Structure formats: C-alpha cells, structure tokens
Amino acid sequence: MAKVNISPNRTTDKTIRTIDRKREQERKRMFYLAKDHAPEFAAKLVQRVIDKNIIETTSVDSVREAFEKQLNNLGFIDEFELQMKIAPIRTIAQDPNVVSLYFTQYIIEDLINNPAIQDVFGDDLEIYRVVDSVFRVLRP
C-alpha cells in the first residue's frame, strides 16, 4: 500500500481557506442584517454620533438618509471596493467589525462633503468606538 503523504502546507492552506470562508460568510450575514434593519441602525447611529459630539449638522434627517442609503448599499459592495474603503483604518482595532470600519471611514472621508454637515470631530479611533457601539450587535 502506498503511504499517504500529508503535507503541512496542504493542511495549512485548508485551514486558511476555512477561516477565510467563515469570515466571508460572517461579513455577508452582517451586511444583510444591516441592510434589513437600515432605518433603525441609521437612526441609532445619527443619534449616537450627535450625542457624542462627533458630527455637527444642520439637518439630522439628511444625515440619517445618508446613513440609511449606505446601509442599503452594503450588500452590493464588491470586495475590492470594500477593501479600498477600509484600508486606511484597517488596523485601528484588534478584531474590527467590518461594518463599523466602513462607516467610520465613510464619516471621515465622505460624510464631510454632505451639505448638512458643518464639521466632524474626533480622531479615527474615537469615531470607530462610537460607530461600533451601534453596530456591535451585528456580530455573531
């Protein structure tokens, strides 16, 4: 009988693929959950960032609509676009929530261009913590 050769590289690759597949499934589940409950999450997020003095705005409804639009688009973002968006702050936390990273970067880069936003305050980590306090419930 031939001896079965079990390569350490083969088992390592299999383990890595399994972990990647699990993370991808977790990410998709979080995106769809966020999309399904977009109005509630948008309202909570707007209230939290205003209460914590992260943003200063002239129209809460405009910011809520912008957040809701982003939540509804989460399921349609391709992997490359997502990775490019979160790349500058990927290492901000030990085990970051992808949705929180995405919204932190959205607030830092894109929301500032909204006409209803007067200013954005706080550093990246502070904004991430406030955003993650809302989206923490999405993680399994």
Measuring CA to CA, which residue among 77, 81, 79, 66 is closest to residue 32?
Answer: 77
User: Is there a domain that residue 58 lies in?
Assistant: yes
Residue 134 clears pLDDT 90, i.e. is over it: yes
Q: Is 67 exposed, middle or buried (0-12, 13-18, 19+ CB in 10 A)?
A: buried
Model confidence pLDDT, tens digit, residues 78-95: 889 988 999 899 888 888
Is the residue at 2 inside a domain?
no
Q: Is residue 3 part of a domain?
A: no
**Is 62 among the domain residues?**
yes
Beta bridge partners of residue 56, listed in sequence order:
119
Domain residues for 121? 8-138
For the cut 50, the answer to whether the pLDDT of residue 1 exceeds it is no
Query: How much of the chain, in percent, has pLDDT values that exceed 70?
Result: 94
Q: What is the pLDDT of residue 4?
A: 54
Q: Is the residue at 95 inside a domain?
A: yes
Number of domains in the chain: 1
Residue 15 lies in a domain: yes
Q: Which of these ranges, 50-59, 60-69, 87-96, has the smallest mean pLDDT?
A: 87-96
Choose among 52, 56, 31: nearest CA to 114. Answer: 56
Say how far apart CA 81 and CA 51 lie, in whole Å. 30
| Arithmetic mean of pLDDT, 43-72 | 94
Whether residue 1 is contained in a domain is answered as no
- 50 vs 12, residue with greater confidence: 50
Q: What is the model's pLDDT at position 133?
A: 94
**What's the pTM?**
0.83
